[in-house]
């Protein structure tokens, strides 16, 4: 089945890391590469390369973020097996074509291609701060040098299609014999009549653009003209107050695949984060119906693949609770938003994987391959009680399934919600009788081991008949260090009955970035790592 290329736009300056000692000039947040991999997109469209104060290419109009500044992010995308496009222009800053000559512009494009090796170039022309004549001439000279490098022209549109000024841009680029895609920005229509029908308005815009292209490309069939068009809605709240919903995303994704569109994108991955703000926020969708990070992307892809939208695990409520409860000062912090996304990467990976496939970013034991094994990696943080999380995963695995345990670890420096994570374990137990999905939440402030232990005890009490043999089975197949923890926990449950408190003060120096790599390790590597840690760390104390 055909599916359009999906590379969500990502503003590299949004949630940037400015306190990384390895990158004194700052860097784009690597979490977006992790999220692209977890959500199984084709990659990202990085925005925007613009004109700097010194008339050289830079990111977001700032000389402090020169052309090479986004290289760490593209390196991370390549390492994750994902592609990327470079987008020039944008709504807020001047395009480099306003100051550079045709020759200089051509050289700037060559420089960007040589530096980044992108999978496409995008030209977002929406604010009149560009020179289409020089762009067309430079691209006409560039394309023969890179014949396999896709080019897209991203333009504002209305439900009725392109406006006359945008049609002129298409005509000029086509007249220069440049092969390109028209990417429709189906957003900010400022038409009250379509505010409640943003999905249909987006589809109408594309259909009308296809009709408009007939006069420019009379030799192309309607099917071929659809293949020369891409679609990019603005998710959540638009600037005109309209709301592009999750259902709209699924509908548009299906439309894009059914009509053979070249690309399916969204503005933006930075905004694919839940919030209930009553204004347009660059770091979230401002849609209270969104439940977790990446949910819009998942809906677009589910529609395009003709699959059902994944059921979101209760563990993502940990993220939602953080999003809705912090003070305004914390909520407005770009760094806080980035950490909130990091906490959901593992969950997004698990729910985006097709049935029967091992989810990216998790360790899943297949019943047919490892009939009696349990994988129980520990989550890492600057100050997290690893043993408590490991013991919790053992108890949950024992009470829910004797044959399989899928225990991804989720980490965040700003996720002090062990209580909510523990609640999600109990909820998952009641909802899924055949599979355990027990992400561990980690934080440098996550010290609420008592609540976590409470949820473990509750789970054990609900499945009292199955607990003892299941624990025994689990202990027989996992490393001695983890088995010892399981013995200690089971003994405490037997003695206390319904209440167990596990207190541990184990510390780890693992960084958050290392966690994402760690959760992708094989089962054997994860168990070995846990065993090594258990040999060097103090055993947790059980308090009845």
CATH architecture of the domain 9-352 equals Alpha-Beta Barrel (3.20)
Q: What pLDDT does 452 receive?
A: 34
* Rounded average pLDDT over 113-131: 98
Whose structure tokens read 């976590």? 452
* Adjacent-strand bridge partners of 263: 5, 230
Rounded Cα distance between 531 and 525, Å, is 10
Better pLDDT: 87 or 491: 87
In the chain, the percentage of residues whose pLDDT exceeds 70 is 57
Rounded Cα distance between 486 and 478, Å, is 10
Q: What pLDDT does 361 receive?
A: 32
Contact status, residue 198 vs residue 248, Cβ threshold 8 Å? yes
Whose structure tokens read 């996304």? 341
Q: What pLDDT does 290 receive?
A: 93
Contact status, residue 46 vs residue 86, Cβ threshold 8 Å? yes
Q: What pLDDT does 340 receive?
A: 54
**Who's near 105: CB < 8 A, 6+ residues apart?**
96, 97, 134, 135, 138
Q: What pLDDT does 1 receive?
A: 79
Q: What pLDDT does 530 receive?
A: 45
Rounded Cα distance between 374 and 354, Å, is 21
Residue whose C-alpha is closest to residue 415's, from 438, 388, 439: 439
The crossing angle, in degrees rounded to 10, of helices 386-400 and 523-536 is 130
* Rounded average pLDDT over 496-506: 35
Task: Give the other-Cβ count within 10 Å of 200's Cβ.
Answer: 15
Assign 308 a pLDDT band (cuts: 50, 70, 90): confident
* Rounded average pLDDT over 490-508: 37
pLDDT tens digit sequence for 457-473: 343 344 334 434 443 44
Residues of the chain within CATH 3.20.20.80 domain(s) are: 9-352
Residue 315: pLDDT above 70?
A: no
Residue 429: pLDDT above 80?
A: no
Residue 331: pLDDT above 90?
A: no
Rounded Cα distance between 196 and 326, Å, is 31
Q: What angle do CA 159, 165, 166 make, to 5 degrees?
A: 55
pLDDT tens digit sequence for 392-426: 333 333 333 333 333 333 333 333 333 333 333 33
Q: What angle do CA 196, 197, 202 make, to 5 degrees?
A: 135
Contact status, residue 187 vs residue 150, Cβ threshold 8 Å? no
41-55, 279-293, 402-416: the lowest-pLDDT one:
402-416
pLDDT tens digit sequence for 72-104: 999 999 999 999 999 999 999 999 999 999 999
Six-digit token pair at 79? 């390492």
Q: What is the pTM of this model?
A: 0.63
Q: Helix, strand or coil for residue 39? A: helix
Q: What pLDDT does 343 receive?
A: 54
95-109, 112-126, 302-316, 355-369: the lowest-pLDDT one:
355-369
181-186 vs 9-11, strand pairing mode: unpaired
- Whole-Å CA distances, 297 to 43, 292, 304: 12, 11, 11
What are the E-state strand segments in 157-278? 181-186, 229-233, 236-237, 243-244, 263-264
In this structure, the chain runs to a length of 544
Better pLDDT: 171 or 357: 171
Q: Helix, strand or coil for residue 161? A: strand
Q: What pLDDT does 88 receive?
A: 99
**Who's near 378: CB < 8 A, 6+ residues apart?**
386, 387, 389, 390, 409, 440, 530, 533
Rounded Cα distance between 418 and 445, Å, is 9
């Amino acid at each position: 089945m055909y599916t359009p290329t999906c590379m969500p736009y990502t503003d590299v300056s949004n949630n940037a890391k400015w306190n990384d000692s390895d990158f004194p000039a700052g860097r784009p947040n690597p979490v977006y590469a992790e999220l692209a991999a977890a959500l199984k997109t084709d990659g990202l469209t990085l925005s925007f390369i613009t004109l700097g104060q010194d008339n050289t290419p830079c990111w977001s109009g700032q000389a402090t973020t020169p052309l090479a500044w986004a290289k760490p992010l593209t390196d991370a995308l390549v390492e994750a097996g994902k592609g990327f496009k470079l987008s020039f222009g944008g709504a807020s800053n001047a395009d480099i074509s306003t100051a550079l000559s045709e020759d200089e512009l051509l050289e700037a494009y060559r420089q960007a291609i040589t530096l980044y090796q992108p999978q496409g170039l995008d030209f977002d022309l929406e604010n009149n701060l560009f020179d289409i004549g020089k762009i067309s001439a430079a691209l006409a000279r560039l394309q023969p040098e890179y014949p396999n490098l896709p080019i897209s022209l991203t333009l504002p549109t209305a439900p009725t299609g392109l406006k006359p000024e945008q049609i002129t841009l298409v005509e000029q680029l086509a007249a220069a014999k440049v092969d390109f895609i028209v990417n429709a920005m189906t957003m900010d229509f400022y038409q009250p009549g379509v505010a409640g029908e943003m999905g249909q308005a987006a589809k109408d815009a594309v259909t009308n653009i296809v009709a408009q292209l007939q006069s420019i490309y009379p030799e192309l069939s309607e099917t071929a003209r659809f293949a020369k068009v891409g679609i990019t809605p603005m998710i959540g709240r638009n600037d005109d107050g309209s709301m592009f919903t999750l259902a709209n995303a699924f509908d548009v994704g299906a439309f894009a695949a059914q009509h053979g569109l070249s690309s399916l994108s969204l503005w933006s991955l930075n905004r694919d984060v839940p919030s209930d703000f009553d204004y347009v926020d660059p770091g979230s969708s401002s849609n209270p119906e969104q439940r977790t990070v990446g949910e819009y992307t998942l809906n677009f892809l589910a529609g395009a693949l003709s699959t059902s939208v994944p059921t979101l695990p209760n563990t993502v409520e940990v993220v939602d609770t953080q999003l809705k409860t912090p003070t305004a000062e914390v909520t407005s912090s770009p760094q806080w938003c980035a950490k909130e996304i990091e906490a959901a990467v593992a969950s997004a990976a698990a729910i985006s994987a097709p049935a029967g496939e091992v989810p990216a970013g998790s360790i899943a034991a297949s019943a047919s391959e490892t009939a009696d094994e349990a994988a129980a990696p520990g989550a890492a943080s600057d100050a997290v009680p690893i043993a408590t999380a490991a013991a919790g995963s053992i108890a949950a695995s024992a009470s829910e399934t004797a044959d399989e345990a899928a225990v991804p670890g989720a980490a965040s420096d700003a996720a002090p919600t062990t209580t909510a994570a523990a609640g999600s374990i109990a909820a998952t137990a009641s909802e899924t009788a055949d599979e355990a999905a027990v992400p561990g939440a980690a934080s440098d402030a996550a010290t609420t081991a008592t609540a976590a232990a409470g949820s473990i005890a509750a789970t054990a009490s609900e499945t009292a008949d199955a607990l003892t043999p299941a624990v025994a089975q689990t202990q027989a197949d996992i490393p001695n260090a983890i088995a010892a923890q399981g013995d200690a926990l089971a003994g405490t449950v037997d003695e206390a009955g319904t209440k167990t408190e596990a207190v541990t003060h184990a510390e780890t120096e693992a960084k958050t970035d290392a966690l994402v790599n760690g959760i992708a390790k094989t089962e054997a590597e994860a168990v070995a790592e846990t065993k090594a840690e258990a040999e060097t760390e103090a055993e947790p104390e059980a308090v009845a």
